[in-house]
Amino acid sequence: MNARALWMVWCVVLVASLVAMVQLNRASVGTVATNNRFGFSLTESARSLGVDFVHQAPVFDRRLEHIMPQVASVGAAVAVADFDRDGWPDFYVTSSADGSLNRLYKNQGNGTFRDVAGEVGLADVNRAGTGVSMGAVWGDYDDDGYEDLFLYKYGRPELFHNDAGKGFTPVSERAGLPAWVNANTAVWLDYDRDGRLDLFLPGYWSEDIDLAHLKTTKIMPESFEYAENGGRKYLFHNLGGGRFEEVSEKLGIKSRRWTLATAAADLTGSGFPDLFLANDYGIPQLYINKGGKQFVESGKEAGVARTPKSGMNASFGDIFNDGRLSIYKTNISEPGVLVQANDLWVPKKNAAAGSPAYDDVATSVGVDLGGWSWGAQFGDLNNDGMLDLYLTNGYISAGERSSYWYDFAVIAVGHSAIIGDAANWPPMKGRSLSGYQRKRVWLNDGLGRFTDVAQVVGVTDTYDGRSVALADLSNRGVLDVIVANQRGPLLIYRNAVQPGRHWIELALEGSASNRSAIGARVEVQWNGHTQVQEVHGGNGFSSQNDRRLHYGLGAATKIDRLVIRWPSGQGRTQTIENPAIDTFLRVKEPA
């Protein structure tokens, strides 16, 4: 071949490669559905349900004024529980401005909600000098049958005892909680299986910082992806009698990473709950629970902590219906600037017992690119028997035609002496940073592929979403979606699933185990499927789903059996053969 002809060949190779880049880039954004043939639709209905809550962001020290939208970018949170035991799920939402009021929406059972936070003493919790709310988790720490509330803040954390559903009494002092923690997440768990709920509270900002009254502007992360100057972690062991003992260091949890989300589940089959921490500015952490006596950080060995990213969510789901809990962590993806991609870690089938090992399959199944992703929850939204994934996103929506991304990218690469001082950060000047983003509702086809159906099923908002919670708000056998938006309205997407799809919902109550049954593991077997779910004491980002477990069954008209492993020290399992479907099943742990 002569030189000219060869040159022509190389030209063709180059052009073909460039065209392939364009085509593959288009394909990489995932499959987006264009018509609704998925058997469900979501309708935003908050106002018609009587919910008119709008989150108010905090205002911190004026030396942070130039980057206030960033440092005040969190605090919109939602946690679901039936606080008055009337059989209808209620929910608590947080606001974050000084003096703003949190709300407790009581489900009136007639399709509407009423704010009762003021009546029960849970509204006025953002008083000046006490810090501002970041989120809350429900858990019955004293096993009296009523869900108590733990409120975490950039400020003084508060534990509220539920007085038989009629009021809440602050009991933080007796509980021995610290004076100040800057946290964005907390989770109830019974780490030592003594039948009492313990509490894990990992900090984000260092606890010696009061963002409203700074001593210095050198408060920022020391690195965009390797920061270890965040808040300390607290693990409160429930001693009974309303008292707790802080045991984190004693049990091996010494991290100072910037934790934004945490969740607990038994990931090793040991019967003890392990802890997963999604950290901003760094690698996530996986603390394996060694018999309730020690936590061993095993993220690197397990394959989940190889790459530092900006972790913002921690949730678990059995996405293949084979009894394995995958971990979903959200991160940042901004086209052309920063493509971290979200992570979906699926346990390897051949991992040694007690030593979890994971493969990241987010890209291959299509749940990797979700913008500046925040809260995400697994749930069977169309009752077809497979867990789907709802994700909210968007960081700061301000000027629609101006972006802070350039300045953000410049400072993010800076050495710790530069990035670590807020005074060096370029002013935002009303610009957006990954704002106005479209949400994702990824539908699991059961064949290893997720399709984004958000736009066609009705999820069209572009608020700065933070917290997502799933609950069957009307006891209809379908999962509704509650989304808390930063500086935006609380949204309730009411779900309508086409007839002919079956379901079962389980409300568990522990006896030897903690009464909330947090940590209980339920395996539902039907028609060749085996789906595992656990009762969580908080997961996602600053959120908590209803404790009732919801299983879609598709067209199946029969469940073979369900197996409940209670989280008590006995590790007791309970099998129920052929339970009824399309109904709520209340199961109390056998005495």
Partner 1 sequence: MKRYLAPLLITGILVSAHLSFGILEGYSRTGLAILVAIAAEMIMGRLTYGRWPHPASAYITGISVGILVRSPFLWTYVLCSLVSITTKYVFRYRDRHLWNPSNFGVSALLFLAPASASLLSIQWGNVIWPMVVIWILGSVIVWRVGRLHISATYVASFLGLSFVQSALTGNPWLAIVAPITGPMYQLFIFFMVTDPKTTVRSTRGQMLVVFLVAVAEMVLRLNEVVYAPFYALFLVGPSAILIDEWLRSRETARSLSPAM
Give me the residues that bind partner 1 (CB under 8 A), please: 1, 3, 6-7, 10-11, 13-14, 17-18, 20-22, 24-25, 28-29, 222-228, 283, 300, 306-308, 333-341, 362-363, 368-369, 403, 405-407, 409-419, 421, 423-427
Q: What dihedral angle (degrees, nearest 10) is formed by the CA atoms of 545, 546, 547, 552? A: -90
Q: Which residues contact 15 (CB under 8 A, 6 or more apart)?
A: none
Q: Least distance from C-beta 434 to partner 1, angstroms?
A: 13
- Of 39 and 308, CB closest to partner 1: 308
| Beta carbon nearer to partner 1, 37 or 415 | 415
Least CB distance from residue 360 to partner 1, whole Å? 8
Residue placing its CB nearer to partner 1 in the complex, 354 or 448: 448
Closest separation in Å from C-beta 316 to partner 1: 21
- Kindly state the smallest distance separating residue 205's Cβ from partner 1, in Å: 16
In the chain, the amino acid numbered 412 is A
Q: How far is the CB of 341 from partner 1 (least distance, A)?
A: 4
Nearest alpha-carbon partner for 185 in 209, 202, 207: 202
Taking the C-alpha atoms of 255, 181, 93 and 101 in order, what is their torsion angle to the nearest 10 degrees?
-170
Joined together, the tokens standing for residue 383 give 């009752």
Structure tokens at 97: 């401005």
Contacts with 126 (C-beta within 8 Å, 6 or more apart), sequence order: 95, 96, 97, 98, 99, 100, 101, 102, 132, 133
Rounded alpha-carbon distances, angstroms, from residue 340 to 209, 330, 331: 29, 9, 6
The least CB distance from residue 343 to partner 1, in Å, is: 9
Pairing status of strand 285-290 against strand 274-280? antiparallel
In angstroms, what CA-CA distances link 73 with 95, 183, 226, 332, 407? 12, 13, 21, 15, 17
Q: What is the dihedral of CA 445, 462, 49, 444, to 10 degrees?
A: 10
What are the distances in angstroms from CA 103 to CA 58, 65, 80, 250, 253? 16, 28, 12, 37, 33
Closest contact distance (angstroms) between CB of 428 and partner 1 is: 11
Nearer to partner 1, 143 or 225 (CB): 225
Q: Quote the least distance from Cβ 583 to partner 1, whole Å.
A: 42
Q: How far is the CB of 560 from partner 1 (least distance, A)?
A: 38
Which is closer to partner 1, CB of 334 or CB of 461? 334
Kindly state the smallest distance separating residue 374's Cβ from partner 1, in Å. 19
Coil, helix or strand at residue 405: helix
Residue whose CB is less far from partner 1, 412 or 471? 412
Considering Cα of 375, then 363, then 309, then 396, what sign does the dihedral take? negative
Judge contact between 540 and 136, C-beta under 8 A. Answer: no
> Which residues, in sequence order, are CB contacts of 25 under 8 Å at separation 6+?
none
Q: Which of 383, 382, 379 is nearest to 581 (CA)?
A: 383
Question: Which residue type occupies 531?
Answer: Q
Alpha-carbon radius of gyration of the chain? 23
Cβ closest to partner 1, residue 423 vs residue 580: 423
**296: buried, middle or exposed (CB in 10 Å: 19+, 13-18, 0-12)?**
middle
CB of 416 to partner 1, least distance (A): 4
Between vectors from CA 497 to CA 362 and to CA 580, what angle results, nearest 5°? 100
- Is the dihedral angle over the CA atoms 122, 123, 129, 133 positive or is it negative? positive
Closest to partner 1 by CB, 102 vs 333, is 333
Residue whose CB is less far from partner 1, 25 or 527: 25
Q: Which is nearer to partner 1, 449 or 561 (CB)?
A: 449
CB of 12 or CB of 580, closer to partner 1: 12
Instruction: Quote the least distance from Cβ 253 to partner 1, whole Å.
Output: 21
98 vs 407 by CB, closer to partner 1: 407
User: Could you tell me which residues come within 8 angstroms of residue 542 by beta carbon, excluding any fewer than 6 positions away?
Assistant: 74, 75, 76, 77, 78, 94, 134, 135, 184, 185, 261, 375, 466, 467, 484
